[in-house]
Amino acid sequence: KAGVTQTPRYLIKTRGQQVTLSCSPISGHRSVSWYQQTPGQGLQFLFEYFSETQRNKGNFPGRFSGRQFSNSRSEMNVSTLELGDSALYLCASSSIPELDTQYFGPGTRLTVL
Amino acid sequence: EDKVVQSPLSLVVHEGDTVTLNCSYEVTNFRSLLWYKQEKKAPTFLFMLTSSGIEKKSGRLSSILDKKELFSILNITATQTGDSAVYLCAEGNSGNTPLVFGKGTRLSVIA
């Protein structure tokens, strides 16, 4: 089975722009979670989606949003980028939310200048 | 206050040493304790421990869960340079809540 894929792998944006990141889960997995990873804060939970519904949302401002499509692929969007949004954005999938074992994608490295 | 606390934050050992990484967690609605290894990008899954499976082993890596004292340890014996990574632990809870990750332990194994 192919693993979790994320696109793009690297992205450079400037302050004020917006960005959309994409995640394709492992085939058959219906739960997708997004995390932001920075050196100081570690892995911070952003959202979790299951069957196109957001089940959980982390403590991030409204500039961070996401969605899930009927094929379980997920996107996250960050609007009005700030320097502090520079981070590695990781997506993880599991077959159902109640199965805690999540499998991570390679991440998207976002740099905001 | 952090719910999942890992220690030490970083560790440098020589090849062949044995290391023990620690992870303490909260008990509220506890369901599972997971360990991941992160080398460059994607964390890779190592073990999941639950109330019904408190000890896991795979090659030189092993992990136990102490439900009474609310912590888990990850043991690596005969360390190799390829074990250099950040090791993350995460707690899974019942009740529709996401995994909570600790900040990780950075392990450096030098030849």
What are the tens digits of pLDDT across the range B55-87?
Answer: 999 999 999 999 888 999 999 999 999 999 999
Cα A27 to Cα A25: distance, rounded to the nearest angstrom:
6
Q: Which three-class secondary structure state does DSSP give residue B83?
A: helix
Return the pLDDT at B1. Answer: 62
B98 chain-A contacts, CB cut-off 8 A: 33, 45, 48, 56, 58
Cα A104 to Cα B101: distance, rounded to the nearest angstrom:
13
Report yes or no: A66 at the B interface, CB cutoff 8 Å: no
Cα A64 to Cα A85: distance, rounded to the nearest angstrom:
10
Report yes or no: B88 at the A interface, CB cutoff 8 Å: yes
Interface with A, mutate which of B37, B44, B87, B99 (most A CBs under 10 A): B99
- Which residue in A has a C-alpha nearest to residue B40's C-alpha? A106
In percent, the amount of chain B with pLDDT more than 90 equals 72
Q: What is the pLDDT of residues A7-62, one digit of tens each?
A: 999 999 999 999 999 999 999 999 999 999 998 788 999 999 999 999 989 999 99
Q: Is B9 exposed, middle or buried (0-12, 13-18, 19+ CB in 10 A)?
A: exposed
Quickly count helices (H) and strands (E) in chain A: 0, 11
Model confidence at B109: pLDDT above 90:
yes
- Which residue in A has a C-alpha nearest to residue B39's C-alpha? A106
Q: Which three-class secondary structure state does DSSP give residue A11?
A: strand
Backbone conformation region of residue B16, classed left if phi is above 0, alpha if psi is from -120 to 50, else beta? left
Cα A9 to Cα A108: distance, rounded to the nearest angstrom:
4
Q: How far is A91 from chain B (nearest CA, A)?
A: 9
Cα B66 to Cα B33: distance, rounded to the nearest angstrom:
11
Return the pLDDT at A1. Answer: 67
Q: State the pLDDT confidence band at B33, using cuts at 50, 70 and 90.
A: very high
Cα B13 to Cα B34: distance, rounded to the nearest angstrom:
23
Candidates A102, A21, A3; CA nearest to B34 is: A102
Mean pLDDT of B105-109: 97
Q: How far is B102 from chain A (nearest CA, A)?
A: 7
CB B23 within 8 A of CB B63: no
Return the pLDDT at A8. Answer: 96
Q: What is the pLDDT of residues A54-87, one digit of tens each?
A: 998 999 999 999 999 999 999 999 999 999 999 9
Nearest CB partner across the interface for A101, out of B45, B88, B102: B45
Q: What is the CA angle A91-B27-B85, rounded to 5?
A: 40
Residues with Cβ < 8 Å from B75, sequence gap 6 or more?
B18, B19, B20, B21, B61, B62, B63, B64
Mean pLDDT of B89-98: 84
The backbone torsions φ and ψ at residue B83, rounded to the nearest 5 degrees and listed phi first, read -85, -10
